[in-house]
């Protein structure tokens, strides 16, 4: 199956590992955000009595001062998901940046740059 696709066994296993790692990372962040919001807002959750009560002041946009926000909650729920993109990029580089083919490309590029550098001196 891999022979016709151009994937080597190493690349396939790295891709599989990346998918599993990404799944765990997404599940962790989703559960973390959900749990943090449930813990923080659980005291203010009220039962729904009617459709009208759900849409009461629906167009109202509230503005709250930053001082009124809980510091730990703001940092964890806003900052942690914000860093998932860079974290995933680092994980992707770790999986694919140190493969045999990639390291060979790095060495070839280093030799080319160093030869150009020494030729210009």
Convert the pLDDT of each residue in 49-88 to its tens digit: 888 888 888 888 888 777 776 677 667 777 777 888 888 8
DSSP summary character for residue 83: T
Convert the pLDDT of each residue in 8-17 to its tens digit: 888 888 888 8
Q: What is the residue whose two structure tokens read 């296993």?
A: 13
Q: How far apart are alpha carbons 71 and 23 in whole angstroms? A: 29
Q: Domain for residue 4, yes or no?
A: no
Q: Domain for residue 62, yes or no?
A: no
Tell me the two tokens of residue 61.
Answer: 């946009």
The answer to whether 77 and 32 are in contact (CB under 8 A) is no
Range of the domain at 115: 9-45+72-120
The answer to whether 36 and 76 are in contact (CB under 8 A) is yes
Tell me the two tokens of residue 48.
Answer: 């729904």
Domain count, the chain: 1
């Amino acid at each position: 199956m891999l022979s016709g696709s151009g994937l080597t066994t190493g690349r396939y296993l790295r891709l599989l590992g990346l998918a599993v790692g990404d799944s765990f990372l997404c599940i962790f962040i989703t559960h973390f955000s959900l749990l943090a919001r449930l813990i923080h807002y659980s005291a203010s959750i009220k039962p729904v009595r009617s459709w009208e009560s759900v849409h009461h002041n629906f167009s109202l946009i509230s503005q709250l001062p930053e001082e009124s926000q809980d510091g730990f909650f703001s940092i964890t729920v806003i900052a942690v998901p914000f860093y998932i993109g860079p974290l995933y990029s680092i994980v992707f580089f770790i999986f694919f940046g140190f493969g045999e083919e990639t390291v060979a490309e790095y060495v070839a590029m280093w030799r080319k740059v160093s030869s150009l550098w020494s030729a210009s001196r």
